[in-house]
Structure 1
């Protein structure tokens, strides 16, 4: 079974602003199903689209199945079936032998920047970049599925 093992961190805005960034990819993703134990997501990322099924989290691990689909079909599915959406720009940054994915959110999640690192096993050591701040791996508010229905701009003020 394919497994995703990921740790997630808030990004320090000032330190991130000083980073030389590669070209980012605009993501639009929507959720057809978003429950505690499973999600079904459609993602259009630049000139590619995917359908992804994710299982329940066990720590920082969960099952994940992802399949490429035609972009035109991804757009149609988002328009006709997605119950909730998020938009962001993703930057891939190499740091100390690992690829970090930094998501700069827009729309109702503007102001939120998250960094993720995918690992081979849960206790794999890694070096955290200076711009990676507080870990939020276990805070479900920061999952993309949650942000699509309960956006950052609503709860950040609470």
Structure 2
């Protein structure tokens, strides 16, 4: 088990530096409390269990056979698809997600932190923080896609 501490932001994709090759991510939610999801990233699959929380959550993640993940994804209609990029800046890893399908054109960035009060410099392409806005967590996006409420978002 590890503890995950991360903050999430909307970003201005036009201001992003050149990014490396994306990874295609498909994840489906099987349970809400605790959050249980199956995820396929390129050709690898994981089963993840996360406790509820906004900033800090316990996370249990296990690699599983790809065929098992595909079968688990068939059990739910709560899925999210995205193209994921990684960018390291000032000692922090930023995960940048370009959502696909009904969640397009949403683009978010998460930064994982060692402590809740860790200080970091926000890059110029980072906009509004949405860590505490539940609409932007992936489980919520699977239930209520961005296309249904994007007009209510101010950047």
Q: Measure, in 1, the Cα distance between the counterparts of 2:99 and 2:115.
A: 27
> Structure 1: which 5+ runs fail to align?
none
Compute the TM-score of the two structures, normalised by the length of structure 2: 0.93
> Structure 2: which 5+ runs fail to align?
none
CA displacement, residues 77-110 of structure 1 (integer Å, 9 cap, x when unaligned): 112x124111000000111111100000000000
User: 1:56-95, aligned counterparts within 5 Å?
Assistant: 56-57=52-53, 59-79=54-74, 81-95=75-89
Deviation at 1:73, TM superposition (A): 1.2
Compute the TM-score of the two structures, normalised by the length of structure 1: 0.92
> How large is the RMSD of aligned CA atoms in angstroms?
1.2
CA displacement, residues 49-89 of structure 1 (integer Å, 9 cap, x when unaligned): 000111120x510111111101121111112x124111000
User: 1:115-134, aligned counterparts within 5 Å?
Assistant: 115-134=109-128
CA displacement, residues 22-55 of structure 1 (integer Å, 9 cap, x when unaligned): 0010000000112xx4210000001210001111
- Structure 1 consecutive aligned stretches of length 4 or more whose deviation exceeds 2 Å: none
**Which residue of 1 is the match for residue 22 of structure 2?**
24
**Which residue of 2 is the match for residue 45 of structure 1?**
41
